[in-house]
Structure 1
Amino acid sequence: MILEIDNIELSFDNKTILRGVYLSAESGKITGILGRNGSGKTSLLSILFGSLNPKFKSIRIDGKFIKVPLFQRNQIAYLPQHRLLTRNMKVGSCLKLFNIDWNTFLNDFEHFKTFKNQYTSNLSGGELRLLETYLILHSDKSIILLDEPFSNLAPLYVSKIKDIIQTQKIDKIILLTDHLYEEIVSLSDDLYFLKNGCSKLIYNMEDLESEGYLPINYQQK
């Protein structure tokens, strides 16, 4: 499956946010989106999901124009920057809601073994983000959007989530963005950079250097 979006025109208070974006993502690949704060990364994901309606847009799946928001087609899952799970839900109930086995979850994150009957309001910011990201990645949707999945995560959990993303991409389209650009660079099969409302396909680190996003002579760790 191939997902494409272009012909976007989005403005707020007479300020153009997106105007020349083209992005293509496909099953079996991780597509990363980089850009400075305010470049429109979150807006682009919201448009793809269907929660933000720009003046113009064209979204296609396998070349077919999609008229209704993707969330109405029940084929997309979105991890937003803001809190996803309500505070009065228990951790075990969250996993059950997504049809995820508790012991399977513990195989990856044993730290949660005492949290099954705890409310999500008792989790730290990093623990909550870890749980939300895990749930979205293991949803039955064919398109996954991740906005800041590594926010507040300890390095060990960042590594585990990256492994899960690699596993889940086999039969899903995964698009993600994060301020931890090194993680996005290392994960992505295809990488786009947003600047001045437009997108650019990035082929190497020199491209990011030329855009002023990375310092000259940057070397990936």
Structure 2
Amino acid sequence: MNKLHIDSITKSFGSQKILQDVCLSCETGNITALLGRIGSGKSTLLQIIFGTMKGDSQFIKYNEQVLTKQSDRRNKIAYLPQSPMFPKHIKIKELIPLFCNPENTRKLFSDDLLRPFLNRTVRNLSGGERKLAEVMTVIHSEAEFILLDQPYSGLSPIFTEKVMKMIKERSKEKGFIISDFDVQNLIEISDDIYLLHDGSLKRIKDLNELQRHYYLPESSIQVK
């Protein structure tokens, strides 16, 4: 079991403090939900963890190795951003091997949902098809920890269900930190739930906390 530990993450933009001493841990075999309102800093936190943004202060450790450079994260952390990540002019079948080993490449090539898109370039896919190809590729990458920023956004119900099952299956050997506004589906598969609110990260143990801080309506959702 491997562990990703994030500590003392602070980030400001001008006079606005977005993150204040944020701490978070995730182990392989664990799915962590990251909730928060628009503009609460979820994407900023994920980018700092991945290394494409520097925090004003930060401490990120993989097992006993402190990660200070982007290269330190290779094959350890993969990230699906909100914005499109695949070049528009390249076919999906040419992109997947850049992220996945031969075994997982073959697995994706034979997937019934993904197979119809393999010979098409990204510019010829719908937004939902592109997102499906991207999220499936990142999930099957070599990295042990997967950061997903709004993986369900733009997906049809059947695609969302497919991605949820895939995350659950891959979480047997990987750790996931996922941010999405589809709260019900995210909570359904998550082992731990955190709320980013006013720059601080709070672990959620009771549904009433989400209803009070996140304005989640009463429902049948059960927080683990």
TM-score norm. by structure 1 comes to 0.91
* Structure 1 position 219, deviation (Å): 2.7
Percent identity over paired residues? 34
1: CA distance between counterparts of 2:65 and 2:105? 39
- The aligned counterpart of 1:86 is 87
Root mean square deviation of aligned Cα: 1.9
What are the residue-to-residue correspondences of 1:158-173 with 2, within 5 Å?
158-173=160-175
Q: Aligned in 2, Cα 1:113/1:138: closer, same or farther, shift over 3 Å?
A: closer
Rounded to whole Å, the distance in 2 between the matches of 1:114 and 1:24 is 38
The alignment covers a number of residue pairs equal to 218
Structure 1: gaps spanning 5 or more residues: none
SS in 2 for 1:59: strand
Contact kept, 8 Å, 2:50 with 2:73, in 1: the verdict is no
Counterpart of 2:31? 30
Are the counterparts in 2 of residues 4 and 24 from structure 1 also a CA contact under 8 Å?
A: yes
Aligned residue in 2 for 1:14: 15
Q: Structure 1, residues 88-114: CA drift from partner, whole Å, max 9, x if none? A: 111211223334566633654x34444
SS at match of 2:12: strand
Cα shift at 1:70? 5.1
1:32 is displaced (CA, Å) by: 0.7
Instruction: Indicate if the aligned counterparts of 1:58 and 1:65 stay in contact, CA closer than 8 A.
Output: no
Unmatched runs of 5 consecutive residues or more in structure 2: none
Q: How far does residue 115 in structure 1 lie from its aligned partner after superposition? A: 3.0
Match of 1:135 among 131, 134, 137: 137
Q: Does 1:126 align with 2:145?
A: no
Give 2:68's aligned amino acid.
V
Q: 1:69 to 1:43 in 2, by over 3 A?
A: same
Shift, 1:73, TM fit: 3.4
Amino acid at match of 2:16: K
DSSP-derived class of the 2:181 partner: coil
Q: How far did residue 138 of structure 1 move?
A: 0.3
CA displacement, residues 36-61 of structure 1 (integer Å, 9 cap, x when unaligned):
00111000100100111011111123
Contact kept in structure 1, 2:67 and 2:73, CA below 8 Å: no
The answer to whether structure 1 residue 68 and structure 2 residue 68 are counterparts is yes
- In the alignment, the residues of structure 2 paired with residue 89 and residue 212 of structure 1 have an alpha-carbon distance, to the nearest angstrom, of 40
Q: How far apart, in 1, do the equivalents of 2:90 and 2:123 lie? A: 8
The answer for the alignment partner of 2:185 in structure 1 is 183
Corresponding residue of 2:48: 47
Question: For the structure 1 residues 160 and 114, does the alpha-carbon distance in structure 2 shift closer, same or farther, using more than 3 Å as the test?
Answer: closer
Secondary structure of the 2:90 match is coil
Matched residues in 2 for 1:17 and 1:144: separation?
23
Residue 5 of structure 1: how far off its partner (Å): 1.1
Task: Give the aligned residue type for 1:142.
Answer: E
Task: Give the counterpart letter for 1:25 in structure 2.
Answer: C
**Conserved 8 A contact 1:5-1:59:** yes
Name 2:220's counterpart in structure 1. 219
Matched, 1:104 2:103: no
In 2, Cα distance between equivalents of 1:91 and 1:104: 14
- Over 3 Å counting, the alpha-carbon distance change for 1:40 and 1:27 in structure 2 is same
Whole-angstrom distance in 1 between the partners of 2:39 and 2:120: 36
CA distance in 2, matches of 1:112, 1:25: 29
